[in-house]
Amino acid sequence: MKVVIPAAGLGTRFLPLTKASPKEMMPIIDRPTIHYVVEEAVESGVDDILIVIGKGKHIIEDYFDRSWELENHLSINGKRALLPLITKIPDMASFHFIRQNSPKGLGDAVGLGRDHVGNEFFAVMLGDNITVSPVPVLKQLMDVHERTGGSVIGVERVGQDRVSQYGIVSGRMVGNGLIKVDSLVEKPSIEEAPSDIAITGTYVLSPTIFKLLKSTAPGKHGEIQLTDALNELAQQEDVYAYEFEGHRYDVGDVTGWLKTQIEFAVADPRYGDDICKFITEVIDRKCKER
């Protein structure tokens, strides 16, 4: 199975930083967010990755390419021990890139994968979600696809107050954590939301979605929404939502990114002790004053 990673968005929730720097390159500890996404794909058995980039995003291509100068520099300057950190990145998978030439939305970006993917089921992974789970989330969705033969969307319950930030699904439970989807709506108001079951950003999709995306009119925020095309797909083919096992970190906004950074640092054996001590100090020094 091939995976499409849309990474062409403008990242307006991170302005002004994203004026000149892709949000997919925001670090979590010492690796960019998109590195974790690619790792999850690879750990799920995917070895063909298409990344949809846009203006100003060429450093994502550079990151997954070899860097001869840097390799040379490390080799001749007694830093050979650092080499594996950078040489293994281009070998993680077979990387392909395509450009979205104007910000027409997630649906448009996924649609650009049509020629590369062909007439097969494929995966979509959004660049601003990182999941820590016993089995990679994409693998969990691929297993559900194997069992059901349908498209599968990773979901989690978010609570009524957050439904307007996500694509929301409605349907009926047909198994443990498995929902047969009737309809989907992109970022509804609390009043309109049919449930609190939110799309988290990992999908296994039927190639029919490409045809549907072609005729999907601009929706929420004037953009071509993947959720709108999925709603159409659910009327024609089996679409399931799966409440996967694992903890999702939404790094798409500043608060989510900060929380992820802190939690990953605490869990990291290299930095955990220091950071925990620091957090305790900060609570005493700053948080109690607030």
The contact set with ligand G1P (CB under 6 A) reads 106, 126, 129, 166-167, 186, 198-201, 226-227, 252
Amino acid symbol at 112: L
- Nearest approach in angstroms of CB 169 to ligand G1P is 9
Q: Which residues contact 222 (CB under 8 A, 6 or more apart)?
A: none
Distances (CA, A) of 176 to 123, 134, 180: 22, 17, 11
- Nearest approach in angstroms of CB 189 to ligand G1P is 15
Nearer to ligand G1P (CB atom), residue 136 or residue 275: 136
Measured over the CA atoms of residue 157, residue 163, residue 168 and residue 174, the dihedral's sign is positive
Nearer to ligand G1P (CB atom), residue 106 or residue 233: 106
Beta strands in 41-86 (DSSP E): 48-53
Nearer to ligand G1P (CB atom), residue 168 or residue 275: 168
Strand bridging mode 167-175 / 178-186: antiparallel
- Nearest approach in angstroms of CB 245 to ligand G1P is 18
Q: For residue 213, list its beta bridge partners.
A: none
Dist. CA 56–CA 20, nearest whole Å: 7
- Nearest approach in angstroms of CB 193 to ligand G1P is 12
- Nearest approach in angstroms of CB 82 to ligand G1P is 34
- Nearest approach in angstroms of CB 137 to ligand G1P is 13
Nearer to ligand G1P (CB atom), residue 63 or residue 249: 249
Residue 185 DSSP class? E
What spatial distance separates the first Cα and last Cα of the chain, rounded to whole Å? 50
- Measured at CB, which residue is nearest to ligand G1P? 167
Nearer to ligand G1P (CB atom), residue 204 or residue 226: 226
In terms of phi and psi (left: phi > 0; alpha: psi -120 to 50; beta: otherwise), the region of 78 is left
Nearer to ligand G1P (CB atom), residue 44 or residue 129: 129
Q: Tally the residues of the chain.
A: 290
Structure tokens at 170: 């409605």
Nearer to ligand G1P (CB atom), residue 46 or residue 226: 226
Structure tokens at 207: 């190639």
- Nearest approach in angstroms of CB 78 to ligand G1P is 43
